[in-house]
Amino acid sequence: MEASLLRKVDVLIIGAGAAGMMAAAEAGKRGRRVLLVDHAKKAGDKIRISGGGRCNFTNINTSFKQFLSENPRFAISPLKRFSAQDFIGRVRARGIAFHEKTLGQLFCDESAQQIIDMLLDDLHEAGVELRLRTQVHGVEKTENGFLIDLGDERVQAEKLVVATGGKSIPKMGATSLGYDLAQQFGLRVVETRPALVPLTFDQSTLAPIKALAGVALDPVQVSHGKTRFDEALLFTHRGLSGPAILQISSFWREGDQVKVNMLPGQDVFGQLRAARQENGKRAVQTVLSQWLPKRVVEFVMDEHKIAGNLADMSDKKLKTLADSVARWALKPTGSEGYRTAEVTLGGVATDELDNRTMESKKVPGLYFAGEVVDMTGWLGGYNFQWAWSSAWVAGQAV
Ligand code: FDA
């Protein structure tokens, strides 16, 4: 390649998503010459579609406890140095109206685009050059940094930040470049798998679920071992979805069972017995329909071939019925995979990185931030907060 096509920058950042934009703006504010590249047509596409278009940009309760990783404590320092409150401060200063939906989850009142515009303006003010529709053809380590081949030009960068996100939603441009680069430079990558994803079932389990497609139960308690989430569940044509299922999917592994309590906090057996004593002539359906949608009651009764009046039911039968509502045990066969997963579990191993800088311990000058790192949040704004925090830290160091 000709020498004229070689140019120099202080910092090259791959990936103009949540983490890449934050890291670039922070480095730019420090006076660093920053080039931010992405193969997509627009920056921050996942922010745009997040939170149903309103972006659940953080969670006021964020701590390392809402993260899955080989070492969740790795997140403590970045989350402290650039906290949920710090990001909220920026959103407020920008005049973006927001609200708490539930469980500390903050959403824009209007549109996720407001968060993207804020980040784009930050990039502009910090003098960052943003190059979209740009492929990374290769990265080489040089004596004084990295040589990055962008096809029409080669860039010599003192520091390289990899902020390429996870593998979720390949249709939107997700690639494994970040993991591949980590491996190229000898960094360990924790096995990846789709997370925050709907669960799927075999034909016999799916048939009655399918019939309930569109019905929601809010809240249910879904559990896997000792992990539980009290959130909404949604029946779909493909299986089960909704926040409670997405949450548990990050913990579920092939062959495991999950349990659903459709009426958390309620003593269903006790209440059925009390109802029988009060008026045994009432149909069981009528009583259950006080608490659950009619179609779900029919599904439960059919599954257990239970019908009739309360007076006809022995304690044993009432117990079976109560358990089918409060301890519905299911064995998923899989998940919808990266096609619909909101995040990717696993990634660049935290013991390869320094959490004060997000720099590789083995390869000085190489940084990773955001979802590409083995740090996966629960549903509820935690993943964006990790992107902001880890990228902010990298932005101060590069
Ligand atoms: P992100 O994926 O945002 O950015 C990576 C960038 O790298 C992309 O712009 C991509 O184009 C680019 N890239 C990838 N490969 C490349 C290559 N080979 N060459 C060049 N560029 C490349 N989280 C949350 O906290 N609250 C929420 O409301 C939601 N909602 C939500 C909805 C949906 C549908 C999804 C799929 C995900 C969410 N998330 C979420 C998760 C959240 O979007 C995610 O964790 C962050 O976007 C991660 O930020 P990153 O910057 O690390 O990756």
Do residues 142 and 156 touch, judged by C-beta distance below 8 A?
A: yes
Q: Which ligand 1 atom is at minimum distance from the Cα of 17?
A: 4
- Global pTM value: 0.97
**Angstrom distance (rounded) from CA 313 to CA 237:** 33
**Angstrom distance (rounded) from CA 394 to CA 19:** 9
C-alpha of residue 325 to centroid of ligand 1, in Å = 37
pLDDT tens, 101-136?
999 999 999 999 999 999 999 999 999 999 999 999
C-alpha of residue 90 to centroid of ligand 1, in Å = 20
C-alpha of residue 18 to centroid of ligand 1, in Å = 7
**DSSP conformation class of 94:** T
C-alpha of residue 58 to centroid of ligand 1, in Å = 14
Residue 4, pLDDT above cutoff 60: no
Which of 12, 47, 164, 250 has most ligand 1 atoms within 8 Å of CB, for mutation? 164
Residue 307: pLDDT band with limits 50, 70, 90: confident
What's the gap between Cα 99 and its chain centre?
20
Nearest residue CA, atom 46 of ligand 1? Answer: 384
C-alpha of residue 237 to centroid of ligand 1, in Å = 26
Which of 383, 390, 392, 393 has most ligand 1 atoms within 8 Å of CB, for mutation? 383
Numbered ranges of CATH 2.40.30.10 in the chain: 198-335
**Angstrom distance (rounded) from CA 96 to CA 113:** 10
pLDDT tens, 151-169?
999 999 999 999 999 999 9
Q: Which ligand 1 atom is at minimum distance from the Cα of 16?
A: 9
**Degrees to nearest 5, angle at CA 49 with 172 and 179:** 40
C-alpha of residue 92 to centroid of ligand 1, in Å = 23
Do residues 375 and 74 touch, judged by C-beta distance below 8 A?
A: yes
Q: Quick one: which of 350, 19, 366 has its CA closest to 166?
A: 19
C-alpha of residue 316 to centroid of ligand 1, in Å = 50
Numbered ranges of CATH 3.50.50.60 in the chain: 5-193+345-397
**DSSP conformation class of 254:** T
**Mean pLDDT of all residues in the chain?**
96
What pLDDT sits at residue 3?
Answer: 46
Mean pLDDT along residues 352-375: 98
Residue 5: pLDDT band with limits 50, 70, 90: confident
CATH number for the 5-193+345-397 domain, one of 3.40.630.30, 1.20.1600.10, 3.40.50.2000, 3.50.50.60?
3.50.50.60
Ligand 1 pocket, Cβ-based, cut-off 6 angstroms? 14-20, 38-40, 45-46, 49-51, 55-56, 136, 163-165, 168-169, 173-175, 177, 342-343, 370-372, 381-384, 387
Instruction: State how beta strands 34-37 and 129-131 pair.
Output: parallel
pLDDT tens, 175-220?
999 999 999 999 999 999 999 999 999 999 999 999 999 999 999 9
Mean pLDDT along residues 329-340: 97
**CATH superfamily to which 198-335 belongs:** Translation factors (2.40.30.10)
What pLDDT sits at residue 306?
Answer: 85
What pLDDT sits at residue 300?
Answer: 93
Residue 287: pLDDT band with limits 50, 70, 90: very high
What pLDDT sits at residue 305?
Answer: 85
C-alpha of residue 345 to centroid of ligand 1, in Å = 13
Mean pLDDT along residues 84-97: 98
Q: Quick one: which of 83, 9, 28, 166 has its CA closest to 381?
A: 83
Q: Which ligand 1 atom is at minimum distance from the Cα of 168?
A: 36
**Angstrom distance (rounded) from CA 317 to CA 319:** 5
C-alpha of residue 174 to centroid of ligand 1, in Å = 8
Mean pLDDT along residues 43-70: 98
Q: Three-state SS for 365?
A: coil
pLDDT tens, 222-268?
999 999 999 999 999 999 999 999 999 999 999 999 999 999 999 99
Q: Which ligand 1 atom is at minimum distance from the Cα of 45?
A: 9
Helices (H) and strands (E) in the chain, counts: 13, 23
Residue 89: pLDDT band with limits 50, 70, 90: very high
Residue 1, pLDDT above cutoff 70: no
**Percent of the chain clearing pLDDT 90 (strictly above):** 97
Nearest residue CA, atom 48 of ligand 1? Answer: 371
